Structure 1
Amino acid sequence: MASDGCSKDELLEENRTDSGIESYRSIVKSEEPRDDLPADRGKFSITGTEERLDSAYGSSSITVESLSEIVKECTLSDEAVEEPTLTSELSEQENLLRTITDEGDTLLHLAIIHEETSFAQELIQLFPKEVLDIQNNLYQSPLHLATYLNLAAVVRGLMEKGASLELQDQDGNTALHVACQHGQTDCATEMTRDLPPSELVPVLETQNWRGLACLHLAALNRQHQIMKLLMKKEADLNVQEGTSGKTALHLAVELRDITSVKLLLSRGANVDAAMFNGCTPLHLAVGRQDAPIANLLCQSGADTMLRNMEDETALDLADGNDDILALFPFDDIQISGRSVVSVRY
């Protein structure tokens, strides 16, 4: 089923040498408790058992402690105008700026992982676009990491500098997929704000390795605000996921999410869209004995006579449920399998 395997715990492979967000999971265990940490930082579970040393290529190395020293040395001061500028300070550490750790993280990746927002913003302004799009060993770009951590200001800075929205991580997810899955509405808004349709539509149609587009992930995770945002950006409401051909409406029906069903139908989703096996949303609703959603689909004009590859209509799946049967016409007279007289019970 398309909804399987979409939980946060399955985002990254177990016991794999980590980078990006996984680096954060392991190294945070070695940090002393801090009162200034965001309250929700714990939402990323700590799975590592040893402190990670981010060893860079060459003579430089970056650790949890040294990153804070780098930030302290490189960050612009508002008070001391006589201090060297960020550019001149960093020019003395050119080898550090070119550093990539064994896990593929740049200094920008690490600044984002540690939620050093101001420092990350300065690096974004300094680095060329090519550096902003470097992917680590898990194929995560800085934009992926900023989205995972819901750093909307960093996302905005990356987008303004031209960071690519098309890059896919090891699960095939773009940063917009990540926002749709985790409900990062502010990040999704920043990513889609100024992109012309010619650039945004291909991203909206991109499927991850499970065959899911952004709208599918938003529907699967009941992210109604993001669904509205995607609809406003002209996402294809009838795009089929790659494994069984379900549309977002099929997924909403399976979840018994009547809010999503109403939203999709009100925006013009195809009520009779067929999966690869021919099942329509009405087949799924009736098969689940879900009378309220079946009624909503019928009121929206669902064709009760459509047959799936098993040659079954939705009525065939009613299984004697009176509430379901009451939704269907009494087919006393038929021509070519279709009712001429439609008298409801």
Structure 2
Amino acid sequence: MYGETALHRAAFAGKVKEAENLIAEGADLNIGNNFNETALHYAAKKGHKSVAELLIRKGANLDSETRTKETPLHCAASHGHGGVADVLLKNGANANIGNNLNTTALHLAADYGHKNVAEVLLNKGASVDIMNHFDNTPLHLAAKNGHGGVADVLLKNGANADIGDDSNSTALHLAAFSGNVECLFLLKKRLI
């Protein structure tokens, strides 16, 4: 289904021994499914750190891109798997690669409210004020979606609350418009 290999399925299920056996038998680590997702994308999506470590040790491409240009790090970030994100980054994954909309892993962590992933990314060099295709910074997304914990982490790591998006809205505007009181309070406190 979807052009998956046995290695994709082993990675999805978190089966380290099966993945190891498949690799020993010559399974291609970097073959993509119909969407160009590799086994490492699957391991990252499901949070299977041990499988990710195995695939990386055996030479999986850390920054392989899907059809929408998402890397395994994007998958780990959007699904809240800080442990896998940490493994990817420690092994050289690029924290600032954008997908087809220039959305980075930090944007996704902020968008979905994954504070633990945001902390890992920022500790490993993710750019706090990087903009996506819509000129949104991670802070814009955290504020818009009411993720106060992530907004706080971003602000403590130097996020610029005065940057406007493609309609010149700041994070404060987005928090107010969305009715996100926690973010509104955090951002207003910065102005005082």
How would you bin the TM-score normalised by the shorter chain?
Answer: 0.7 to 0.9
Alpha-carbon spacing, 1:305–1:162, altered in 2? closer, same or farther (3 Å)? same
Measure, in 1, the Cα distance between the counterparts of 2:164 and 2:81. 31
CA shift for structure 1 position 171: 2.7
Counterpart of 1:310? Answer: 167
CA shift for structure 1 position 274: 0.4
Alpha-carbon spacing, 1:140–1:285, altered in 2? closer, same or farther (3 Å)? closer
Alpha-carbon spacing, 1:278–1:151, altered in 2? closer, same or farther (3 Å)? same
Measure, in 1, the Cα distance between the counterparts of 2:151 and 2:44. 27
* SS of residue paired to 1:326: helix
Q: How many equivalent residue pairs? A: 187
Conserved? CA contact 1:156–1:190, under 8 Å: yes
Q: Which of structures 1 and 2 has the bigger CA Rg?
A: 1
Conserved? CA contact 2:161–2:187, under 8 Å: no
Measure, in 2, the Cα distance between the counterparts of 1:139 and 1:227. 25
Considering only aligned residues, what root-mean-square deviation do their CA atoms show, in Å? 2.2
One-letter code aligned to 1:301: G
Choose which of 81, 92, 108 in structure 2 pairs with 1:251: 108
* SS of residue paired to 1:145: helix
CA shift for structure 1 position 168: 0.7
One-letter code aligned to 1:173: E
CA shift for structure 1 position 167: 0.7
One-letter code aligned to 2:29: L
1:191 correspondence with 2:55: yes
CA shift for structure 1 position 161: 5.0
Q: TM-score under structure 2 normalisation?
A: 0.84
1:172 correspondence with 2:29: no
Unaligned runs of 5+ in 2: none
Alpha-carbon spacing, 1:151–1:315, altered in 2? closer, same or farther (3 Å)? closer
Choose which of 290, 299, 321 in structure 1 pairs with 2:147: 290
Conserved? CA contact 2:172–2:188, under 8 Å: no
Residue by residue over 1:44-91, the C-alpha shift from the partner in whole angstroms, topping out at 9 and shown as x without a partner, is xxxxxxxxxxxxxxxxxxxxxxxxxxxxxxxxxxxxxxxxxxxxxxxx
* SS of residue paired to 2:62: helix
Q: TM-score under structure 1 normalisation?
A: 0.50
Unaligned runs of 5+ in 1: 1-11, 13-137, 330-344
1:327 correspondence with 2:184: no
Conserved? CA contact 1:295–1:327, under 8 Å: no
One-letter code aligned to 1:280: T
- Structure with the bigger percentage of helix: 2
CA shift for structure 1 position 293: 2.5
